[in-house]
Amino acid sequence: MVDFLRDFIHILRSSDLRVSTSESIDAMNVVSKIGLNDRSLLKDSLSFSLAKTLREKEIFSECFDNFFEENYMNFNDEKLPKIFDDKNIKLGDIKNSDNFQNNLEELYKNSDKTSLMTAMALAARDANLQDIKLFTQVGMFTRKIFDEMGLETLNNDIFQASRDGKTQREEELKNIRENLRIEIRDYIENQVKLRTSNTGKQLREDALSQMRLTQADKSDYKIMSGIIKKMAKRLISVHSRRKRKSQRGFLDIRSTIRANQEYEGILFETVWKKTKVDRPKIVALCDVSGSVANVSRFFLMFLHSLTEILPNVRTFAFSNKAGEVTDLFENKDINIAAAETLLLNGGGSTDYGQAFVDLEGYLENNIDRKTTVIILGDARSNYGDPRCDVLKTIQEKSKRILFLNPEPKSVWGTGDSEMLRFVPYCSKSKVCSSLFDLERVVDDMLRSSI
């Protein structure tokens, strides 16, 4: 019982469900009390111990159904405690007990599915199937588990039948061997799929978070949207705590001492100097022309996933003329809003000068020293007037300007790039070409704003 529950918890953890040591102990206590006979009761009881949020319960339910479908719930409750409570029990002891036959032939011909699956599970444990990582290892583990179950004896019986000229028996034994091999292989393939599917997903997500967004394929958009949600959730958690702490203020020592005079100086009550925390105002101007459209798409999705800690965000997009798209993100799904932003404002010859003029016109008096302006684009303006004078005016009115450029610094200022002319009017100018870069930039911005 210890082994299978430990395996199940490992699957949960690999599926992004955090299970602590104390929760694992609680789960083991639950199973020891209710047993394994009632699958529905077991699922509900373990769910209370191992899943907290609605999302975690969804993950738990899927993992439970997949794991126990292919594992120990195929066995009856009378056998399971005897088999799995003692991790030192041997497969040979089980096969020679009253519950199992003496060899693979008898096990296959005369035992029910439960007995065969139990024998495979025990052999898998002895063969360390929990260490399997790749589908290329299926053949190796099939042979190891087959050996643990008694393949040598079955092969000897086949050889003996052949030597005695018992062709019919030889063919029968060979069929049994092949059917058993298929059963074992199917069992292992289901196990490796269960154990590595989430690992593969995590590896894929890690790769996509580091990949240049200009290279992103449409087939990856759904996964990348999920990555953005995880990143946003992580940032919200971190910066919400920082915000609560900063709102509490600093300890007012004098007031605290006065408040506790009646307690003879013992500090029963504390008094804090309240600090006013202003919500940062964000203005985002994104180049959605073809060369950087993907970067802007995911940046806008990221930014508008943080409304819990960044409620004051105005968003503008441009290829030449800039247009406000704030309402799109307030009224529509983030993915749809991002796609429509590219559709409505993309195309045309890129003109940063015109975009700056349009932005200044939109903002008018709605920009002050609490406003952070974020510009995302490659600064390539088709040799038009970059209107650095307008950018300077925006800089003087705002708290700061952050310029995020997906191109490496080595090409800034080359060709029609005006980046080196923009840099003097920006508080920070950073390369930002991947989801990882976006998370780092937004995290840094939040640390200095909240």
Q: How far apart are CA 111 and CA 99, in angstroms?
A: 9
Q: Is residue 82's pLDDT more than 60?
A: no
Residue 101 is predicted with a pLDDT of 38
* Listed residue (298, 291, 301, 339) closest to 208, CA to CA: 298
Each residue of 417-447: pLDDT tens digit? Answer: 999 999 999 999 999 989 999 888 888 887 7
- Residue 87: other Cβ atoms inside 10 A: 10
Q: Is residue 77's pLDDT more than 50?
A: no
- Residue 332: other Cβ atoms inside 10 A: 13
Assess contact for 195 and 11: CB atoms under 8 A.
Answer: yes
DSSP string of 260-286?
Answer: TGGGTT------EE----PPPEEEEEE
Averaged pLDDT for residues 52-64: 82
Average pLDDT, the chain: 80
Rg (CA), the chain: 32
pTM: 0.55
Q: How far apart are CA 413 and CA 79, in angstroms?
A: 74
For residue 100, CA distances in Å to 109, 112, 147, 152 come to 11, 10, 17, 18
Exposed, middle or buried, 450 (CB in 10 Å: 0-12/13-18/19+)? middle
Residue 264 is predicted with a pLDDT of 66
Helix residue spans in 127-218 (DSSP H): 138-149, 151-163, 167-210
What's the one-letter identity of residue 234?
R
DSSP conformation class of 41? H
Report the relative pairing of strands 400-405 and 371-376 from DSSP bridges: parallel
Q: Which residue has the higher pLDDT, 114 or 206?
A: 206
Assess contact for 9 and 50: CB atoms under 8 A.
Answer: yes
Q: Enumerate domains of the chain plus CATH numbers.
A: 2-206 (no CATH), 222-248+278-449 (3.40.50.410)
Q: Is the dihedral of CA 91, 97, 101, 102 positive or negative?
A: positive
How is residue 245 written in tokens? 């702490």
Question: What is the number of residues in the chain?
Answer: 450
